[in-house]
């Protein structure tokens, strides 16, 4: 009998429907896992045990009446970037202080509407800025995976949604929400051996999500299988009139799309994603992925995305610029931390100086600079033009193919403390993920294999705007072919 | 004679541009659903969006966009079917987000014109550079506590139209005329109530001076002047200050200043160090604003007759001079009142009564035309009673005053006070004979050539008849008796 | 484009973030590193390219002019670091 914490979301849903166990038991098992392992993993900033129990009880009652929603009783973690009503929300930062939102984000409200149980708020890089979850004011998150050699080294889960990915990998939650601005769902999904998707920009509402870079931020799910992600995304997605960038499109049946197969699909291989120094393991896994798709009836086509290499530089102009403006509201006046000052200016400076960590400060200053008088044309305007070229690359490629396959990350998870000397080294983690954000297209990471150290590696499927269905279809084929069944060293049910 | 200020070195010309911030009439704010009504208890008309809480997002109010388009049409300006919102970034206590959503590079309305009327009757076209939509800020109260300022966000997020004029104004009078005309247009359109005391219309005044035919010199901005009178005073005060600087051998520095009404001077608001770098960039929470041509056409079709057109029509249809027409159309309510009175009656007589007696009575009783004690219909009836000779002009004035006091109509007052005009020639003849007999010496003088005494006789006859004599018949009778 | 310490301080002031004197040099180095790295965008020919501003999938949607929000003063002030009755309080500002 599978431990409750080892179930997939889909299997747990079926088990609840069959009354094999109750929602209360399912939640209790996860709360116990959190209690046992969170001190080590630090995936959660806030655990909402009593609320979770109440939500589970309500789910049991609804299921008994035959009225359970699509996610009734399923316990998930919520990235602490989503405002949750009545529950402290930190954005991984000191500056929000004891802030308790008086409103619920649209995405989490929809998950609640569909019956999900919230276990707590997952740790993240501060204000979603990071690729390692090392910048959180609430301590770093430990990747549940360990290297075969040097098993003592604590590895990063990736970021910014490191807590969400680690919680799912460590079996502390059946699924989790994340956000992805430059790769913050896909990269940690790859590092933690779980599935994660960034949908098309506009597919999920941004209302109630602490904004980082407004033209790039997008909410999405983590889970241990592609179908589980589809199930969660179906609840998370949908038009929201409170978000002017929300797409007025119906939400397709993503779960059904998972079973479509890839026969007759054309899969593109962007040549610019192959770099000279690319690790052999990554190259081989990528080839393996293409073989799997070919065997399943897809045609593999070489394509070119000429501006790929400029994605990161473009991102590190646009995202900080938008962030510098979005984070101006954290000023100690209406909520959050306040450090006193002799006058208003000093209040602002001391509050923000004390409240923002080093990475956030770096990005806000870069953003302020690139927007400042005399530099707007040279940096921001130029970056938005390059962004248009990146989108054009994808648009032209998608005339030839239905989806693209690339590695998700250039390496597997690295150790805490590595890559911290030079900010740019950390930024390079997102080289394969960032272009999809710049173009607004959907991207899914599927755990596909292990590296020589036994650490997970993901493959990324990129699709046309609003064609998550094809992305799920391709991802499901990869998942089945890969048969990824490795388990992290640190997980629920394994004594630590 | 163009306006100039005398300096030690000769006359200086004053160059003025006005940036008017006009609060849009709408139920809800520009980007949130909170209410806009004036005078509410602090922080009760604020949404989390207005207060820039984490994760909040703007959604634009269609009526605010419509009001901006209507205003642009009323200014004969070009409507930009595609425009964009930009963030203007700066830190201030009444600006919760640390940025204001405004329009920088692509405003909703482009170039237009306002025709102003000057006291000498001439008109002048003043260019409008652009109009754009932006959020108003909240209010800081600095006088509630010795060491703290209090922030009320009720006004934060209310829609403003910023209307920028070309630097075409050349005197305080022209500036006053521009503001009055702009205010009239906005009130006609119903897009802003133009109430400067309440702050729903505010003016930033850009002033520079130069010698005749010179290129423009440096200008300074005098911010947030909240009455037309103060705008005119501020212009003169600032122009004089700048002249003194130039004539003293100095250079006017570009800066932002405030008008101190008590002292009649402008003073510097911020030092150069704090000059703002606003870091404008397109607001990524919003998409381009794209207007449908048909929608704009429908807004145009729904516009009321505007002041200039109405004035022209009054001159044409009622034969009124430009000045009188201008006065009557300054407020739409006044124009409507006048037209009700003038319909089917002598338009010039109607104009005299409205602009003379009615305005005087409204001034005296502190009323506006909307709550006039004498309605247009009632005033019209009074004119009818003169036209049908029930009463004469002088009695009409007495009746009018009684109407103002009592709120009753002409017929009621005439009947009550027995003010019907006397047209009985017998009674008139008798009164004439009586007056001439009592003033035999003056009759002799009159017949000896002192024609002006005729008026004296008229007055005496009227007095004898308690003012009720029909003037024409009185005149005729007197001529007969004096022949 | 290389930043000098004065520029670093000016940007920090614009962004209202206090930077200790001792941190300026390190920050200057990090920021210059990042700015140098993003200079690579100058290689690209962007002639006649329209800038992309977010996902270009539609035009701005407008909402009805109705009062649907506000009247939430207590919730609004509940998280305030300093509340003075019905107001947010800050150190007095002199204009």
Mean pLDDT of each 10-residue bin along chain B, 483 residues long: 88 97 98 96 98 98 98 98 96 96 97 92 94 97 94 98 98 97 97 94 96 94 93 96 95 92 87 72 96 97 96 95 92 95 95 96 93 94 91 89 91 87 85 90 90 90 88 90 86
Cα of C43 to nearest chain A Cα, Å: 10
Catalytic positions of A are 79, 160, 184
The pLDDT value given to residue B483: 82
Cβ neighbours of residue A249 under 8 Å, at least 6 residues apart? A203, A239, A466
The pLDDT value given to residue A84: 98
Check if the interface score ipTM surpasses 0.90: yes
The pLDDT value given to residue B1: 56
| pLDDT < 70 regions, chain C | 1, 53-57, 95
Cα of C1 to nearest chain B Cα, Å: 18
Secondary structure E strands in B44-192: 60-61, 82-83, 86-89, 99-102, 112-117, 123-135, 139-141, 148-152, 159-165
Token pair for A184 = 């913050």
Best of C16, C55, C67 to substitute, by most chain B Cβ atoms within 10 angstroms, is C67
Cα of B34 to nearest chain C Cα, Å: 4
Token pair for A171 = 């079996």
Q: Assign residue B308 a region: left if phi > 0, alpha if psi is -120 to 50, beta otherwise? A: alpha
Looking at A445-454, A486-495, B265-274, which range is the least confident one? Answer: B265-274
Q: Which residues of B384-419 are buried (b: 16+ CB within 10 A; e: fewer)?
A: ebbeeebbbeebbbebbebbbeeeebbeebbeeeeb
The pLDDT value given to residue B470: 86
Handedness of CA A369, A374, A376, A379 (dihedral sign): negative
Cβ of B60 and A244 within 8 Å?
yes
What kind of architecture, by CATH, is found in domain B425-482?
A: Orthogonal Bundle (1.10)
Residue A95 CB burial class (10 angstroms; 0-12, 13-18, ≥19): buried
The angle that helices B307-318 and B332-342 make with each other, rounded to 10 degrees, is 20
Q: Which residues is A76 bridged to in the sheet?
A: A118, A175
Three-state DSSP at B478 gives helix
CA–CA separation, A109 and A204 (whole Å): 12
User: Would you give the DSSP letter of residue C34?
Assistant: H
Cα of B89 to nearest chain A Cα, Å: 7
Chain B residues closer than 8 Å to A345 by CB: 91
Cβ of B150 and C89 within 8 Å?
yes
Strands A195-198 and A443-450: antiparallel
The pLDDT value given to residue A6: 96
CA–CA separation, A174 and A197 (whole Å): 15
CA–CA separation, B448 and B454 (whole Å): 12
Cβ of B56 under 8 Å from any chain A Cβ? yes
Cβ of A313 and C40 within 8 Å?
yes
Cα of A304 to nearest chain B Cα, Å: 29
**Does A160 sit behind a cis peptide bond, omega within 30 degrees of 0 on the bond before it?**
yes
pTM of the predicted structure, to 2 decimals: 0.93
**Element of type H or E holding A303:** strand A299-303
The pLDDT value given to residue C53: 65
Closest CA to A408 of A464, A468, A478: A478
Cβ of A203 under 8 Å from any chain C Cβ? no
Residue length of chain A:
496
Q: Are A403 and A267 in contact (CB under 8 A)?
A: yes
Of the partner residues A201, A241, A338, the one whose CB lies closest to the CB of residue C81: A338
Cβ of A325 and B89 within 8 Å?
yes
Q: What is the pLDDT of residues B108-117, one digit of tens each?
A: 999 999 999 8
């995202």: which residue's tokens?
Answer: A319
* Structural domain boundaries in chain A: 1-496
Cβ of A94 under 8 Å from any chain C Cβ? no
Q: Which residues is B133 bridged to in the sheet?
A: B161
The pLDDT value given to residue B345: 95
Cβ of A361 and C34 within 8 Å?
no
Of the partner residues B35, B59, B286, the one whose CB lies closest to the CB of residue C70: B35
Q: What is the pLDDT of residues B127-148, one digit of tens each?
A: 999 999 999 999 999 999 999 9
* Structural domain boundaries in chain B: 5-299, 305-417, 425-482
Q: In what order do the strands lie in the sheet with C87-91?
A: B139-141, B148-152, C87-91, C83-84
Strands A403-407 and A266-270: parallel
- Pick among 3.40.50.620, 3.30.70.1450, 3.90.1300.10, 3.40.50.300: CATH of A1-496: 3.90.1300.10
**Element of type H or E holding A393:** helix A382-400
Return the number of CB contacts < 8 Å for B and C: 132
Token pair for B230 = 């103060």
CA–CA separation, B231 and B412 (whole Å): 47
Which alpha helices (H) appear in B92-165, and where do they start and end? none
Q: Are A166 and A144 in contact (CB under 8 A)?
A: yes
CA–CA separation, A308 and A430 (whole Å): 12
User: Would you give the DSSP letter of residue B357?
Assistant: I
Residue A496 — very low, low, confident or very high, per pLDDT cuts 50/70/90?
Answer: low
Cβ of C61 under 8 Å from any chain B Cβ? yes
Does the structure show a pLDDT above 80 at A276?
Answer: no
Token pair for A317 = 């102009």
Best of C2, C43, C57, C64 to substitute, by most chain A Cβ atoms within 10 angstroms, is C57
Best of B28, B40, B147 to substitute, by most chain C Cβ atoms within 10 angstroms, is B28
The pLDDT value given to residue B417: 84
Cβ of A248 and C61 within 8 Å?
yes
The pLDDT value given to residue B272: 46
């Amino acid at each position: 009998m599978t431990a409750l914490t080892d179930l997939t979301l889909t299997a747990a849903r079926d088990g609840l429907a069959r009354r094999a166990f109750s929602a209360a038991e399912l939640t209790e098992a996860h709360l116990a896992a959190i209690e046992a392992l969170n001190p080590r993993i630090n995936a959660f900033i806030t655990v909402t045990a009593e609320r979770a129990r109440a939500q589970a009880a309500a789910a049991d009652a609804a299921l008994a009446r035959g009225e359970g929603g699509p996610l009734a009783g399923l316990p998930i973690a919520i990235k602490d970037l989503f405002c949750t009503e009545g529950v402290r929300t930190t954005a991984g930062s000191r500056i929000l202080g004891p802030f308790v939102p008086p409103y619920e984000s649209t995405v989490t409200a929809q998950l609640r509407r569909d019956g999900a149980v919230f276990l707590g708020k997952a740790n993240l890089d501060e204000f979603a800025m990071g690729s390692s979850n090392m910048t959180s004011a609430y301590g770093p998150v430990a990747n549940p995976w360990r290297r075969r050699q040097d098993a003592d080294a604590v590895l990063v889960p990736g970021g910014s949604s490191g807590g969400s990915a680690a919680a799912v990998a460590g079996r502390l939650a059946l699924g989790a929400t994340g956000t992805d601005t430059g790769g913050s769902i896909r990269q940690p999904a790859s590092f933690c051996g779980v599935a994660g998707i960034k949908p098309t920009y506009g597919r999920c509402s941004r209302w109630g999500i602490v904004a980082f870079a407004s033209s790039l931020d997008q909410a999405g799910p983590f889970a241990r299988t592609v179908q589980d992600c589809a199930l969660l995304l179906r609840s998370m997605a949908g038009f929201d009139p409170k978000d002017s960038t929300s797409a007025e499109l119906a939400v397709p049946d993503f779960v059904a799309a998972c079973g479509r197969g890839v026969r007759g699909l054309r899969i593109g291989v962007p040549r610019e994603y192959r770099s000279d120094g690319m690790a052999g393991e990554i190259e081989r896994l990528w080839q393996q992925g293409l073989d799997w798709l070919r065997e399943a009836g897809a045609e593999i086509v070489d394509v070119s995305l000429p501006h790929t290499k400029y994605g990161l530089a473009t991102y590190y102009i646009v995202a900080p610029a938008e962030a510098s403006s979005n984070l101006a509201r954290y000023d100690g006046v209406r909520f959050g931390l306040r450090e006193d000052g002799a006058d208003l200016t000093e209040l602002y400076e001391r509050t923000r100086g004390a409240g923002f960590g080093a990475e956030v400060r770096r990005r806000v200053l870069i953003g302020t600079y690139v927007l400042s008088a005399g530099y707007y044309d040279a940096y921001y305007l130029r970056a938005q033009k390059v962004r248009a070229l990146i989108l054009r690359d994808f648009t032209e490629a998608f005339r030839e193919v239905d989806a693209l396959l690339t590695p998700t990350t250039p390496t597997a998870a690295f150790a805490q403390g590595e890559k911290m000397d030079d900010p740019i080294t950390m930024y390079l983690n997102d080289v394969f993920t960032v272009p999809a954000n710049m173009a607004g297209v959907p991207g899914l990471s599927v755990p596909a294999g292990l590296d020589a150290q036994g650490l997970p590696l993901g493959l990324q499927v990129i699709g046309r705007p609003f064609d998550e269905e094809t992305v799920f279809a391709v991802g499901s084929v990869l998942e089945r072919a890969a048969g990824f069944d490795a388990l992290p060293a640190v997980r629920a049910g394994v004594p630590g | 004679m163009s306006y100039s200020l005398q300096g030690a070195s000769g006359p200086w010309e004053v160059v003025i541009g006005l940036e008017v911030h006009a609060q849009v009439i709408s139920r809800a704010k520009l980007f949130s659903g909170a209410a806009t009504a004036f005078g509410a208890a602090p922080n009760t008309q604020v949404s989390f969006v207005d207060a820039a809480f984490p994760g909040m997002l703007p959604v634009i109010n269609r009526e605010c966009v419509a009001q901006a388009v209507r205003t642009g049409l009323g200014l004969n300006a070009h409507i930009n079917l595609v425009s964009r919102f930009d963030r203007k970034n700066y830190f201030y206590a009444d600006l919760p987000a640390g940025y204001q959503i405004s329009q920088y590079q692509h405003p909703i309305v482009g170039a237009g014109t306002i025709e102003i009327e000057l006291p000498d009757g001439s008109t002048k076209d003043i260019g409008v550079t652009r109009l754009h939509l932006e959020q108003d800020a909240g209010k800081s109260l600095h006088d509630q506590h010795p060491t703290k300022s209090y922030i009320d966000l009720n006004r934060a997020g209310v829609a403003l139209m910023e209307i920028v004029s070309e630097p075409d104004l050349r005197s305080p009078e022209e500036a006053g005329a521009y503001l009055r005309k702009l205010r009239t247009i906005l009130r006609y359109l119903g897009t802003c109530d133009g109430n400067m005391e309440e702050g729903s219309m505010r003016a930033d005044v850009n002033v520079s001076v130069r010698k005749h035919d010179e290129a423009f010199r440096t200008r300074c901005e005098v911010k947030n002047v909240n009455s037309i009178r103060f705008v005119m005073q501020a212009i003169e005060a600032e122009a004089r200050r700048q002249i003194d600087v130039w004539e003293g051998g100095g250079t006017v520095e570009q800066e932002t200043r405030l008008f101190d009404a008590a002292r009649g001077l402008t003073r510097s608001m911020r030092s150069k160090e704090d000059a703002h770098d606003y870091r404008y960039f397109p607001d990524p929470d919003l998409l381009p604003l794209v207007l449908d041509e048909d929608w704009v056409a429908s807004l145009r079709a729904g516009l009321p007759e505007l002041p200039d057109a109405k004035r022209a029509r009054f001159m044409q249809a009622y034969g009124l001079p430009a000045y009188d027409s201008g006065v009557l159309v300054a407020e739409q309510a006044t124009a409507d009142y006048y037209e009700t009175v003038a319909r089917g009656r002598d338009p010039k007589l109607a104009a005299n009564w409205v602009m003379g007696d009615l305005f005087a009575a409204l001034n005296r009783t502190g009323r506006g035309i909307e709550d006039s004690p004498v309605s247009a219909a009632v005033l019209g009836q009074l004119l009818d009673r003169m036209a049908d000779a029930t009463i004469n002009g002088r009695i009409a004035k007495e009746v009018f005053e009684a109407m103002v006091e009592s709120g009753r109509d002409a017929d009621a007052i005439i009947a009550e006070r027995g003010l019907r005009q006397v047209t009985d020639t017998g009674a008139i003849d008798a009164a004439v004979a009586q007056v001439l007999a009592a003033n035999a010496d003056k009759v002799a003088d009159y017949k000896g050539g002192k024609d002006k005494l005729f008026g004296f006789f008229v007055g005496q006859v009227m007095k004898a008849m308690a003012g009720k004599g029909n003037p024409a018949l009185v005149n005729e009778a007197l001529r007969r008796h004096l022949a | 484009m290389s930043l000098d310490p004065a520029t670093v301080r000016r940007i920090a002031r614009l962004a209202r973030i206090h930077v200790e004197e001792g941190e300026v040099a390190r920050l200057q180095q990090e920021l210059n590193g990042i700015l140098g790295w993003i200079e690579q965008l100058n290689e690209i020919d962007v002639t006649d390219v329209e800038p992309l501003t977010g996902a270009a999938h539609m035009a701005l949607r407008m909402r009805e002019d109705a009062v649907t929000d506000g009247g939430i003063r207590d919730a609004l002030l509940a998280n305030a670091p300093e509340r003075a009755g019905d107001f947010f309080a800050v150190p007095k500002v002199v204009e």
